[in-house]
């Protein structure tokens, strides 16, 4: 979703440390994460602040709790298909805002395939392809409906084939999980 001409480096802190050299290399540090990664994310923000590095934050943690992160420079909330293009344009104009958000939901048929070459694929046991977003159900422990809506939106078959081909070309030969927001199975009683 970022311009092709930008140089990009992906550091997934689940599988590798974020080094000082990584931060020094970047012009802008884009942060994403889940609520469970709150403390580690705060430490990264503090490291960026200490060296005066510009930060952009998005994804589930920040969409839910952006107000509690005062030291982030720019928030790109909700689905990046809709909110990231404005930040990119404003960064290139030299006038980025602090907040980018929307009430709209993205059309997943416009979602680009991930740049698998940025990931250290040999560090993973399973590769994931996101097939759908949104769910019509209402489990009280889950915030998918609040953030991604009640209507299931899906990628089309050609996108999934493209993503599988890209993974194969990147050398992946292990398992692939299609991440689908699927309703949990109804418990049915056996017929008497
Ligand atoms: C696959 C998945 C998993 C997998 C893989 C997790 C992983 N670490 O990669 C597994 C099964 C391991 C897992 C585990 C857990 N998960 Co989970 N998981 C998902 C799921 C189904 C898809 C996430 C995904 O990869 N999406 C693909 C990306 C492309 O889409 P996206 O996240 O929607 O990103 C978009 C925007 O958020 C935004 N965005 C995202 N990041 C960034 C960053 C920047 C800089 C910007 C600008 C934008 C941006 O742009 C993207 C495109 O629109 C979501 C539910 C869902 N449908 O979203 C839950 C979800 C993310 N999981 C959730 C939870 C709670 C967990 C667990 C904590 C559960 C538990 N109690 O153990 C663990 C945490 C494990 C860990 N430490 O990572 C919650 C997170 C809620 C929150 N606010 O933090 C979610 C939202 C589901 C829910 N119940 O509400 N999970
Ligand atoms: S069925 Fe799954 S995605 Fe839907 S509300 Fe329940 S836990 Fe969330």
Question: Are residue 134 and residue 81 in the same domain, yes or no?
Answer: no
Q: What are the structure tokens assigned to 128, written together?
A: 């994931």
- Ligand sitting nearest the alpha carbon of 35: 1
Q: CA nearest 61: which of 13, 10, 6, 129?
A: 13
Q: Starting from the CA of residue 77, give the closest ligand.
A: 1
Instruction: Note the pLDDT of residue 192.
Output: 42
Structure tokens at 108: 């997943």
Q: What is the CATH number of the domain that holds 37?
A: 3.40.50.280
The residues with which 125 forms a beta bridge, in sequence order, are none
Indicate if 138 and 91 belong to the same structural domain: no
**Which residue owns the Cα nearest ligand 1 atom 50?**
80
The partner residues of 30 in beta bridges, in order of sequence, read 56
Last residue of a domain, one of 38, 70, 100: 100
- In this predicted model, what pLDDT tens digit does every residue of 77-91 receive, in sequence order? 999 999 999 999 999
Q: Which of 100, 129, 159 is the last residue of a domain?
A: 100
Residues 34 and 93 in one domain: yes
What are the pocket residues of ligand 1 if the criterion is a CB atom closer than 6 Å to any ligand atom?
14, 30-32, 34-36, 56-61, 64, 76, 79-81, 84, 106, 128, 130, 133, 142-144, 148, 179, 181
What is the pTM assigned to this prediction? Answer: 0.92
Residues 96 and 112 placed together within one structural domain of the fold: no
Ligand 1 centroid to residue 141 C-alpha, Å = 14
Give the end of a domain, one of 100, 133, 154: 100
Q: Are 39 and 112 members of one domain?
A: no
Position 90 in a domain? yes
Which ligand does the CA of 147 lie closest to? 1
Domain count, the chain: 2
As a whole number of angstroms, the distance between CA 137 and CA 38 comes to: 27
Residues 114, 179: Cα–Cα separation, whole Å: 14
Question: Are the beta carbons of 45 and 32 closer than 8 angstroms?
Answer: no
Is the CB of 139 inside a 6 Å radius of any atom of ligand 2?
yes
Does residue 136 fall inside a structural domain?
Answer: yes
> 29-43 pLDDT, tens per residue?
999 999 999 999 999
Is 15 inside a domain boundary?
A: no
* Structural contact between residues 74 and 56, judged by C-beta atoms closer than 8 angstroms: yes
Q: What is the mean pLDDT of residues 3-21?
A: 97
Digit-coded pLDDT (tens) for 123-148: 999 999 999 999 999 899 888 898 89
Residue 77: give the domain boundaries: 20-100
């Amino acid at each position: 979703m970022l311009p092709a001409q930008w140089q990009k480096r992906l550091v997934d802190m689940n599988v590798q440390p974020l080094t000082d050299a990584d931060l020094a290399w970047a012009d802008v540090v884009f942060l994403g994460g889940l609520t469970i990664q709150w403390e580690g994310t705060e430490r990264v923000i503090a490291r960026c602040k200490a060296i005066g590095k510009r930060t952009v934050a998005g994804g589930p943690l920040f969409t839910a709790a952006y107000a509690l992160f005062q030291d982030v420079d720019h928030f790109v909330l909700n689905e990046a298909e809709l909110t990231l293009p404005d930040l990119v344009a404003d960064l290139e104009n030299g006038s980025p805002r602090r907040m980018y958000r929307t009430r709209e939901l993205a059309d997943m048929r416009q979602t680009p395939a991930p740049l698998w070459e940025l990931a250290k694929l040999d560090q993973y046991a399973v590769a994931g392809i996101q097939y759908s977003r949104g769910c019509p159900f209402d489990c009280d422990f889950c915030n998918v409906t609040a953030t991604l809506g009640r209507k299931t939106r899906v990628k089309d078959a050609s996108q999934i084939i493209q993503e599988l081909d890209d993974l194969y070309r990147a050398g992946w030969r292990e398992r692939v999980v299609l991440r689908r927001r699927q309703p949990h199975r109804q418990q049915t009683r056996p017929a008497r």
